[in-house]
Amino acid sequence: MQYFRYQDNELYCEDVLLKELAEEFGTPLYVYSRRQIVENFRAFEAPLVGMDHVICYALKANANLSLLKLLLQEGAGADVVSGGELHLAIQAGFPPERITFAGVGKREDEIDYALRSNIFSLNAESPQELQLISLVALRLQTPARVALRINPDIDPQSHPYITTGLKQNKFGISAEEALRVFQFAASLPGIQVVGVHTHIGSQITKIEPFVETAKFLAELVRKLREAGINVQHVDFGGGFGVQYANALRHEALPLEPDNAPPPKLGQFVEAVLPVLKETGCFLWFEPGRSIVADAGVLLTKVLYTKENGARKFVVVDAGMNDLLRPSLYNAYHQIVPLKIETYEHHRVDVVGPICETGDFLARDRMLSKVKRNDYLSILTAGAYGFSSTSNYNARPRPAEILVNGEKVRVIREREAVERLR
């Protein structure tokens, strides 16, 4: 997150002082660095230059229309997972031939919408879904291009809730059944089989599971071709991990326990390319987190500090409705002051205003000493931050700001209380 840095002990996003944004627009507030997003996308793309490929940004990570338009300008395609996301991708202007639609539970109206929109492919996950896609395609008299999501049974060694490529997960078609289901798909009149898809999980910080997956895919493509099924597209999915702990360093900040940074984005891609190249296929990737996570922060204000027995709490104005990840996955986000005023730390729980014990942003955390009305920044919040917000406790969703150098743009207004229903 090189575009967030301290200067004279105050935190900046690019050339903008974050405290000024917090004062002007209020908190909780999401702030994104345009340059960071562009740089992440380019780092992903660099090893792929000269090869047939599309990087389909996974909208679920953050589907703000302004960010989508920015990524479109950079040449991204779109990976969508619902009719709503498809609508946003089309609204942003993504060309249909660079849109793919994944998801274990697509409704008939969503399949209909995807086929009418003539997107590149539906990534199917079961024989029943294939049957339904074929029926809708026949009704619309348009062949449905389909890739099959195959589950390679590889352990990505990440959080169990975001592991998707294991046998026991609900996603995909098992490796043992792959050939049979491909043959079934090829026999359906409305379907044109174009490729094989996989996605083994999210926030994967090791290279090996990706390399294993690439080998699995290369072998599968070979077997399919032997069986007369000529797949020409490999969709490798997303899942590339980012650094959450120690994302920002300053001598006044406590050193966080997890010290090993994950590989750089380009290194993940470089590691799988030699294997994927062998297939001769057109390559698709679906990164979400690695493009936007470190480009976003959530600003919040300290409402109160309090002590219950031995436990110290910092009560802030952002809750689990604004950033769900800590509550849902016990996810770790570094939290830093917008202004460094002390080198002293204390061990605290950073909690939100919501009526749930599970409403916390950090637990048992060494934090710079703070007081009422101080501002804090929750780092690496650009992915699965705003996109997982809710109105729980009838709390309006936060505003979103995009910073570009010295320029500041509101890319989503704070939701008005009057609009709550």
Catalytic residues: 355
CB-nearer residue toward ligand LLP: 151 or 368 = 151
Q: Which is nearer to ligand LLP, 142 or 157 (CB)?
A: 157
Distance from the Cα of residue 52 to its chain's centroid: 24
Exposed, middle or buried, 69 (CB in 10 Å: 0-12/13-18/19+)? middle
CB of 96 to ligand LLP, least distance (A): 18
Which of 162, 273, 315, 366 binds ligand LLP (CB under 6 A)? It is 162
| Smallest distance from ligand LLP to CB 238, Å | 3
Pairing verdict, β 173-174 and 191-197:
unpaired
Could you tell me which of 360, 410, 375 has the C-alpha nearest to residue 299?
375
**Residue 407 Cβ vs ligand LLP, minimum distance, rounded to whole Å:** 27
Number of residues forming the site for ligand LLP (CB under 6 A): 20
Build a one-symbol-per-residue string for 97-126: x at contacts with ligand LLP by CB under 6 A, - elsewhere.
Answer: -----x------------------------
Instruction: Note whether 389 and 318 are within 8 A (CB).
Output: no
CB of 202 to ligand LLP, least distance (A): 3
Q: Is 238 in the site for ligand LLP (CB under 6 A)?
A: yes
Phi, psi of 403 (to 5 degrees): -105, 135
Taking CB under 6 A as the rule, does residue 78 contact ligand LLP? no
User: Which of 14, 45, 79, 110: binder of ligand LLP (CB under 6 A)?
Assistant: 79
Interacting residues with ligand LLP between 345 and 384 (CB under 6 A):
384
Q: DSSP for 343-368?
A: S-EEEEEEE-SSS-TT-EEEEEEEEE
By C-beta, is 16 or 37 nearer to ligand LLP? Answer: 37
User: Rule CB under 6 A: which of 172-211 touch ligand LLP?
Assistant: 199, 202-203
**Least distance CB 81 / ligand LLP (angstroms):** 7
Assigned token pair, 12? 């900046």
CA 398 to chain centre: 19
- 152, 237, 326, 396: which one binds ligand LLP (CB under 6 A): 237
Stretch that binds ligand LLP, among 30-38, 55-63, 108-116, 256-264 (CB under 6 A): 55-63
Pairing of strands 4-7, 121-124: unpaired
**302-331 binders of ligand LLP (CB under 6 A):** 325
Min. distance of Cβ 383 from ligand LLP in angstroms?
A: 6
Q: Which is nearer to ligand LLP, 290 or 334 (CB)?
A: 290
- For ligand LLP, the closer CB: 19 or 60: 60
Q: Which is nearer to ligand LLP, 377 or 389 (CB)?
A: 389
- 61 contributes a contact to ligand LLP by CB under 6 A: yes
Cα separations (Å) of 121 from 42, 46, 216, 354? 24, 25, 21, 41
Distance in Å, CB of 196 to ligand LLP, minimum: 13
DSSP result, 276-334: HHTTTPEEEE--SHHHHGGGEEEEEEEEEEEEETTEEEEEES--TTT--HHHHH-----
240 forms part of the interface with ligand LLP (CB under 6 A): yes
Residue 233 engages ligand LLP in binding (rule: CB under 6 A): no
Binding mask 257-296 for ligand LLP (x = CB under 6 A): -----------------------------xxxxx------
Closest to ligand LLP by CB, 58 vs 71, is: 58
Task: Tell me the closest approach of the beta carbon of residue 304 to ligand LLP, in angstroms.
Answer: 28
Is-cis flag, bond preceding 28, omega within 30? Answer: yes
Distance CA 299, CA 11 (A): 11
Residue among 6 and 384 whose Cβ is closer to ligand LLP: 384
Q: Which of 60, 62, 31, 64 is nearest to 298 (CA)?
A: 31
From start to end of 379-420, where are the E strands?
399-404, 407-412
Integer Rg of the chain from CA: 22
DSSP states of 211-235: HHHHHHHHHHHHHHHHTT----EEE
Residue 156 is a binding residue for ligand LLP (CB under 6 A):
no
Query: What distance in Å separates the CA atoms of residue 211 and residue 215, rounded to the nearest whole number?
Result: 6
Interface positions with ligand LLP (CB under 6 A): 58, 60-61, 79, 102, 162, 199, 202-203, 237-240, 286-290, 325, 384
